[in-house]
Structure 1
Amino acid sequence: MPLTPAPNRRHFLALAGLAAAAAACGKAEAGTAGGAGGRKRTLRYQGAAGAVTLPELAEDLGYLGDVKLEWVGNTISGPQDIQSAATGQTDFGGAFNGAVVKLASQGAPVKAVISYYGSDKDAYNGFYVLEDSPIRAPRDLIGKKVGMNTLGAHSEAMLDIYLERHGLSRAEIGKVTPLVVPPVNTEQALRQKQIQVGVLGGILRDKALATGGIRPLFTDFQLLGAFSAGTYVMTERFLKANPETARTFVTGVAKAIEWSRTTPRDQVIARFTAIVEKRRRQEDTAALKFWRSYGVAETGGRIDPKSFRLWVDWLADRGDVPKSRIKSVDELYTNEFNAYGKGSGS
């Protein structure tokens, strides 16, 4: 199992290909235009194997009306997903808000329209060590390897914030090594001591904890409390050409968020299982029974400015985004298309 060391952190988001997306989006996004009357009603998107995304749930519940989803494949990461949306290969994509900030700072004309995942008491990622590990405090991580699913995204940001808030200097933080480890291999890598810390969430976390022999160093929920961490984005051109489609989509996703909160968990899981089975992609549904929450903090996924302000400041402090590129967090998102709670959407 290969373990990939982190690159220089000042360039980590550029490695995700976001700069290329920003340069290309002006030419490629013609494919997202709505045509006559701005009535594009079929939205291309990327999914996730063995999982049900909020737009897929919204469509199955009938919340998207005459708007249809067209699956074009599965995404490999959040940065790749929003890059596809920016370049017009898909009509929407979702990623960690730091990646959205980086993409926008490179000039890509995209807007975040609704939050779709986050951390709460049920949905969180933990940084785990072996039960007998000498790692007990942030400073103990100096010289250690931390395995996570991808670099330049949620987990690396949580690690940096954790270390910074506990007083480690930039030089000391640079001595903590994030490594890319496939999520399905993280527990094994931790137990075999190939890494000293592993980031685990969802079913993989629950299975590892049930096996025993590991303990949490910290979780993102403990670090920041309940917060929305990622948003779906659409291009500004798409929103201008297809406002009603955008409103139907965003409001439908908002209603699906609230349906998942208020419906008994066993019924939600049963719905997920039926959705996966109906699409006939030979996917394993076993992981669905471990679902607990999407983790979205705000009602209906409405975007709170603080969901972006934290990452703008973090990226600017690191030099990854020039402060002059993002004049206000308000330019990064819009709640204009989310009608949930405004009458027709509730």
Structure 2
Amino acid sequence: MLHHDFRRFLNALNRLNPAQIEDAQTKIRDLRRKTEAISEIEARTNQEHKCPFCGDERRQKWGRTRTKIQRYRCSGCKKTYSGRTGSAIGRIHRPDLFMVALRDMLGTSAPKSVRKLATQLDVNKYTVWRWRMLVFSIIANSSVAASFSGIIEADETYQRESRKGSREWVRHFADPKNVAAPPRPRWEDYTTKGLKMMRGLSRWQVPILTVADRGGARLFRRLPNRKGVTLERAMRPLVPGDAVLCSDGGNGYMNLAAAVGLEHCVVGSKPGTRVASGCYHIQNVNSLHARYKRFIKPFCGPATKNLCGYIRWLEARLAGVKPADILGIA
């Protein structure tokens, strides 16, 4: 816009009525959101000058894309590219709305549900869901194994098994003679049909191993079952030989300590036994369990097949990962 046209636009603002002012604010907010998204995407190209096709660093500006992102032309292979070319977000048609969804996932406030976020962005709920699954895949591919030392705390928490999106009961009802019933009732049957809920832990409770040390390193990992051998195998590469392991009296921890020669402090769950010798406890892990429960509760039991993605998402929030970091990974 030319300077005199811009001055005319500013002078016209004084003649707007309240409804027009509200519409103008909405439009400016949308434009600002798009501009911020473009800036963050172009920052990735400014940091990495190499062509995504041939790796040549020589380039020249070559117009802009449909979404107003700067396009470049490689001087080597003569192909054009932008900051999104070759990335996981390269085929997203609304990068501005994707950035809003990404900030909601990694912000300091509690993330919104898919339906609420879709209503806010005025898009289909399945679009927001696909974006969330895309972020899950990016975070999963970039996860780095934590390194533990010193006093290491370990314990498990449990998530109820969920088969959201599964068609197993639909197939069984459609063809009961050829398709056997699934191995357990639907969770809704426990309330609608008056079935008694199984008490305590069962094979329908998915274990999640939580490990933390006093240096701030932490890890969540879903385990396939509750067997002591599975727990021992998961813990063995995480605990160095000179560490002190604090846990409950589970067989997996005791077998690991005996096999590796670790100093093992068993902490009880009853009052008076939760702290051993002052500094040996699992309160940090219990705090992580509470944060996990608060984080996962609004999602009303995510599907077990996506549980690892939710766990990586929580780890990214606890680690303070920023949207720019996700774009750099993508």
Assess same fold via TM > 0.5. Answer: no
The higher radius of gyration belongs to: 2
The TM-score normalised by the length of structure 2 is 0.23
Q: Tell me which of the two structures has the higher relative contact order, counting C-alpha pairs closer than 8 angstroms and 6 or more residues apart.
A: 1
Q: What TM-score comes out, normalization by structure 1 length?
A: 0.22
